[in-house]
Amino acid sequence: MKIVVASGNKAKLREIAQIFQGYEIVSMQEAGFTDDIEENGSTFEENALIKARAVSRALGVNALADDSGICVEALGGAPGVHSARFCGRHGDDAANNALLLEKLKDVPQDRHRAYFESCVALCFADGREITASGRTYGRILEKAEGEGGFGYDPLFYSDELGMSFGLASAEEKNAVSHRGKALAALAEKLKGMKL
């Protein structure tokens, strides 16, 4: 089955293709979708559905979207759905990380608990929709560790891995990540559907 991913983020696209094997994964740009999609939902699920619906309806294809972010306990769950544009600009990882560290600089390390959350939505060309979510728990480090991953990965210490996502290999991260868990749950739901 061919699935068009509603994202322009190359790192996220690569991660989805690594995790969601057995399907032909194509970026929305490759499929011919170049419009901007306004992510104005208040939850990860709402934003994932907004993106997947936009691409699916415009192109008449099966479209997959992920919306994800980091939720920090001491910040009341922020940046949450605003993770990619926390600093005010979309996708500026360095500025987002710097702002997160700035906001936590006077917060004791034991209050740096955080989790990554991902919701994935798959909208079929025939109008059916399914969603699944995943979380991974850890804490925010006082400084970046490692060069791997993207986004907040170098600042996120994974409880399951015992290291930052920035130090983990793609395989290690995908085995425990929020996106990996969400995509695995989605794949399970797909097994029970008539495609």
Active site residues: 67
10 is in an annotated binding site: yes
Q: Which helix (H) or strand (E) holds 75?
A: none
Q: Which helix (H) or strand (E) holds 129?
A: strand 129-140
35 is in an annotated binding site: no
Which are the contacts of 95, defined by CB distance < 8 A and separation ≥ 6? Answer: 87, 89
| Helices of type H across the chain | 10-19, 28-31, 44-59, 93-104, 170-176, 178-191
Sort strands 63-72 and 156-158 into parallel, antiparallel or unpaired. Answer: unpaired
| Own/partner pairs, 23-26, CB within 8 angstroms, 24+ separation | 26/2
> Tokens at residue 55, please?
């691409």
150 is in an annotated binding site: yes
173 is in an annotated binding site: yes
Q: Give the Cα separation of 107 and 158 in Å (integer).
A: 19
126 is in an annotated binding site: no
103 is in an annotated binding site: no
- Report residue 43: phi and psi, to 5°: -130, 165
23 is in an annotated binding site: no
9 is in an annotated binding site: yes
152 is in an annotated binding site: yes
38 is in an annotated binding site: yes
Q: Which positions make up the binding site for substrate?
A: 7-12, 68, 150-153, 173, 178-179
Residues annotated within a binding site: 7-12, 38, 67-68, 150-153, 173, 178-179
Binding-site residue ranges for Mg(2+)? 38, 67
